[in-house]
Amino acid sequence: MARPGAYDAAVLGVVGVVHASSKPDINNKGDPGLVIVPAICKWGVSAAALSTAQSGPTRHPHAEDEWNDAVVEQVKELGASAPPPLKYHASKVVSERALWAFFAKRQPHFDGVALLVAYVLGPPTEFSTTYGQVTASSSALIPWMTRPMGTAALSEPFYPYVDSYDAAVAALKTPAAGGERILLQAGPVFGNDFALAVQRVLHDPRLTPGNPDPVFRAQLEATAATFETTKARRMLGLAYTPKDACLDATVEGVRDVLATAKSGVRR
């Protein structure tokens, strides 16, 4: 969207766009309602893969017909003591349920699409770099770019990534997408992937080096949750950037934003 005229091309033929997504909150240490209620009141076109299933190894890929209702019950039971990320996960389930309940009850003259994403990586957009601060998914790379993380962190799993910013536009322009839940997942991401990308781009010996061994990387990926994404490819025609190329572009973009912020120039 940074290219001149990109926005004009993106909304060509679109009657209207409503952006009503709730701000992510994975640090709440109090009432879960402070995370869940705003998500219900401000649902938007993008939900999260978190509403489909929890991460972790499974015998089959998670698909669009699954719901992570268990996390909602877990947060209800634990209340304020529930881990902050679980409250955020629960908010995604409840808010998407509210989305579909709205359409079932009101039957408006427009339809809805739930794009189920987790980490949206790639070059940071204007939305995620407001006033020189990286605030969206790309911010997960900042610790790896600024301080040693330790070798134990290489095996830390993160949410699955997706790099396609074209998904929302494709959903708006594809009539068959109306009323659908569509999983957008290009693959799993681990701390090791972050470390490798940072070293490829920054070449900073002070930072934690990743392990490029294909066997090690394959062993990590074997522990990750998998998702069925054929609907996205078939219906929206999406193609994802390979993980290493996507992460390299993300690191480059975050580096430039941080450098601009340090220089005192407002984006």
> pLDDT tens, 234-255?
999 888 889 999 999 999 989 9
User: What confidence score (pLDDT) does residue 249 get?
Assistant: 93
Q: How far apart are CA 99 and CA 113, in angstroms?
A: 9
pLDDT at 50: 52
Pairing mode of beta strands 187-190, 181-183:
unpaired
Q: Is 124 left (phi over 0), alpha (psi -120 to 50) or beta?
A: beta
In the chain, what are the domain boundaries? 25-110, 114-165+183-226+239-267
Assign 3-class secondary structure to 204-242: CCCCCCCCCCHHHHHHHHCCCCCECCHHHHHHHCCCCCC
Contact between 103 and 110 under an 8 Å Cβ cutoff? The reply is no
Q: What is the pTM of this model?
A: 0.81
How far is residue 164's CA from residue 235's CA, in Å, rounded to a whole number? 14
Query: What single string gives the DSSP state of each residue in 184-208?
Result: ---EEEEHHHHHHHHHHHH--TTSP
**pLDDT score recorded for residue 114:** 87
- Span 120-175, pLDDT tens digits: 888 776 555 555 577 778 888 999 999 999 999 999 998 788 877 678 778 888 89
pLDDT by residue for the chain (267 residues), tens only, comes to: 556 776 677 667 766 655 555 566 667 778 878 776 666 554 433 444 555 555 444 546 888 998 988 989 999 999 999 998 888 888 888 888 888 998 999 998 888 888 888 888 887 765 555 555 777 788 889 999 999 999 999 999 987 888 776 787 788 888 999 999 999 888 999 999 999 999 999 999 999 999 999 999 999 999 998 888 899 999 998 888 899 999 999 999 899 888 876 654 444
3-state secondary structure of 180: coil
**Residue 151 confidence (pLDDT):** 95
Taking phi first (over 0 means left), then psi (-120 to 50 degrees means alpha), and beta for anything else, what does residue 74 get? alpha
Exposed/middle/buried for residue 141 (C-beta within 10 Å: 0-12, 13-18, 19+) = buried
DSSP 8-state symbol, 119: E
Tell me how crowded residue 200 is: count the other CB atoms within 10 A of its CB.
15
How many beta carbons lie within 10 A of that of residue 213, not counting itself? 10
Q: For position 119, what pLDDT does the model report?
A: 82
For the stretch 165-169, contacts whose Cβ atoms lie closer than 8 Å and that sit 24 or more positions apart, written own/partner, are 165/1, 165/120, 165/122, 165/125, 166/238, 167/115, 167/117, 167/232, 167/236, 167/238, 168/45, 168/46, 168/115, 169/10, 169/11
